[in-house]
Amino acid sequence: MTCGEIFDILKSRGCSDLTPWLDERSCSQYPVSTGGYGDVFRAKLTNGHEVAIKTIRIYDNNGTSEGRYAKHAAREIYAWSKCKHRNVAQLVGIIVFRGCLAMVSWWAGNGNVVSYLKRWPNVSRCQMSLSISTGLAYLHEQDIVHGDLKGANVLVGHDGNPMLADFGNASIADATLHFTQTATGPSFSPRWAAPEILSGTSGHTKLADIYSLGMTIIEVFTGKVPYPGVNDYALPLHIAVHLKKPDRPLDVIPDNSVLGNVLWAILMSCWSHNPPQRPSAQDMQHLMGTISDDKLVPVAGTSG
C-alpha cells in the first residue's frame, strides 16, 4: 500500500487534508527535531498559525520500503485523530509534505515539559504530574496505549498546559482500520520502559504505560532522566534482571514532609515488577490530585 493510498484512507476516516492551507514558504528547510520514525518541521498555515509537521522517513538505514513506514504513520495518525482532550496534543490534520505522509499539530512554543521546567523552575511539579496523569487516563479511557511516555513526549502549550504527544508506538483497540504491524523501528525508550518490555516478555500495554508514567513523574520532579548514573548498556540488566528501581530524590521528595512518603509510595507502586499490582491511570489521576507542593516541604523540627 502506497503513501498516497493510505492518505486517502485516512481522509475517508475523517482526517482533515491541510495540504492546500500549508504556507510552504514558511517551512523550515531542515528538521527542528528528529528521532525514531519521524522528523519534525516548523511551518505556518496560510492564516498565519504556527504548526509542527511530523513526517515519516521513507527509508531507514537498511533500505526499508516506503509502505512499511507509511503504515506505521497511519497507525499513529489514526490513534491520534481519536483524541480530543486538553492534556493531549491536538492533531489538526494530515498532509503530504515533501513526498511523505505527515501529521500537523499546533506548534508548542514552550517545547517539552523537561526544557520548560528548566526555564520556569517555580512551576508546580505536582500540577504538571497531575495533568500528565489526566492525559494518560483519557487515552486509556479511549483504549489507546501510548507506548512511549516520557518527558520529551510531553509538550507544553503557550498557556503552560502539558499535552501528551508523539504517538509513534500507540495502539488503539479499534477494528475499523487495520495496518500490518512491523517488527522494525523504535519500540521503547529504555529508561522509561517497563521491565517486561525490556526483557521481551510483553509488548506495550496500559500497565506498561503506568510504569512509564511513574518514570515521567520523577523526571518532572528531578529534571533528570531516570537512572542518571546508569549507562544505556547496563540499563536492561539493572532493571529487568536485578529488579532495581530509582533511588528516592530526597531533595524534592523529602521523607520529613507531610506527603513525601505518600508520593513515593505512589511512584513505587507504578514501578511494581508485577504489572497487575500497578495502579490504573484513573487511580493515578486521583492520587496525584491529592498531592500538593506545599505538602512536600520539609517540616520544621524533623529530620529525614
Whose CA is closest to 153, among 79, 89, 207, 226? 89
In the CATH scheme, what is the homologous superfamily, with its name and number, of domain 3-106?
Phosphorylase Kinase; domain 1 (3.30.200.20)
In the chain, which residues have pLDDT < 70?
1, 35-37, 56-73, 168-187, 301-304
Residues 37-59 as b/e (b if ≥16 CB within 10 A, e otherwise) read: bbbbbebbbeeeeebbbbbbbbe
Whose CA is closest to 53, among 72, 73, 71? 73
Nearest-angstrom CA–CA distance, 171 and 78: 9
pLDDT of the residue at 74 = 74
With beta carbons less than 8 A apart as the criterion, state whether 218 and 246 touch: yes
pLDDT of the residue at 60 = 45
pTM score of the predicted model: 0.87
pLDDT tens-digit map of 191-228: 999 999 999 898 899 999 999 999 999 999 999 999 99
pLDDT of the residue at 185 = 43
What residues does each domain of the chain span? 3-106, 113-296
pLDDT of the residue at 34 = 78
Assess if CATH 3.40.47.10 describes domain 113-296. no
With beta carbons less than 8 A apart as the criterion, state whether 227 and 235 touch: yes
Nearest-angstrom CA–CA distance, 123 and 160: 9
Rama region for 63: left / alpha / beta (φ>0; ψ in -120 to 50; rest): left
Q: What percent of the chain has pLDDT over 70?
A: 84
pLDDT tens-digit map of 239-281: 989 999 999 999 999 999 999 999 999 999 999 999 999 999 9
